[in-house]
């Protein structure tokens, strides 16, 4: 059919893998594909979710050598955790309600990357360790409800931290508003969304598209 590639989403990110001819590095590690690219007649699976997040993050801070606290252990957390590890993050603390769901991600990071990953329970209000450089909400908390808070000790956030949220709708989540109130630098989910699109188009066409115009349109859509 002459396809240059395609995107796929839940529930196909894992099921598509046996149908592809190969995987990129991060997609191979995380075991999930959201973007297939036709390279010399072979379809190679990539994952642009984590790459999109990393691009928006590195515009603010280089994760190399940094300590990360990440809430969640689902698909977004898996993609982000792997890309942070490949970018040289020193440590990733995975904070999750269910230890059994988080353990595979912690094991994957420890076994397949050089980053030290640890699991932290989340049975009560969580206090961010003072040594954290980057804090990421990779859960669905706040999706569709910008007033839903993350169960954290807001006072444990400090101005030295870069705080990120993957939620797109709405972009200005309760979590990010809390972070702003403590003087943190914040990154909303629109950056991840825009950049994964930019990366996908580059994979398929070789063309660098303009992220600013894409973000502007999304801001109009979400009333930012």
Contact, 164 vs 53, CB < 8 A? yes
Distance CA 22, CA 17 (A): 8
3 state DSSP class of 175: helix
Q: Report the alpha-carbon distance of residue 67 to residue 203 in Å, rounded.
A: 30
Separation in Å, CA 3 to CA 12, 31, 34, 67, 132: 18, 23, 16, 40, 43
> Of these residues, 13, 51, 55, 66, which one is catalytic?
13
Question: Residue 13 catalytic?
Answer: yes
CB 115 within 8 A of CB 67: no
Tokens describing residue 74: 């689902």
Q: Report, as residue numbers or ranges, the catalytic residues.
A: 13
């Amino acid at each position: 059919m002459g396809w240059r590639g395609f995107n796929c989403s839940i529930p196909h990110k894992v099921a598509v893998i046996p149908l592809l001819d190969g995987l990129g590095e991060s997609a191979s590690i995380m075991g999930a594909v959201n973007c297939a690219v036709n390279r010399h007649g072979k379809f190679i699976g990539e994952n642009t979710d984590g790459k999109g997040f990393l691009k928006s993050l590195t515009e603010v801070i280089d994760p190399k050598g940094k300590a990360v606290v990440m809430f969640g252990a689902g698909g977004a957390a898996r993609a982000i955790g792997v890309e942070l590890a490949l970018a040289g993050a020193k440590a990733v603390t995975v904070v999750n309600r269910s230890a059994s769901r988080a353990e595979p991600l912690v094991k994957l990071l420890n076994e397949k990357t050089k980053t030290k990953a640890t699991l932290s329970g989340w049975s009560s209000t969580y206090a961010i360790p003072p040594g954290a450089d980057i804090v990421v909400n990779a859960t669905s908390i706040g999706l569709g409800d910008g007033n839903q808070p993350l169960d954290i000790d807001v006072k444990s956030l400090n101005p030295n931290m870069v705080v990120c949220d993957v939620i797109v709708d709405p972009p200005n989540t309760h979590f990010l508003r809390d972070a702003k109130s403590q003087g943190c630098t914040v990154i909303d989910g629109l950056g991840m969304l825009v950049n994964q699109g930019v990366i996908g188009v580059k994979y398929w066409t070789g063309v660098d598209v303009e992220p600013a115009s894409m973000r502007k349109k999304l801001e109009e859509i979400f009333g930012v």
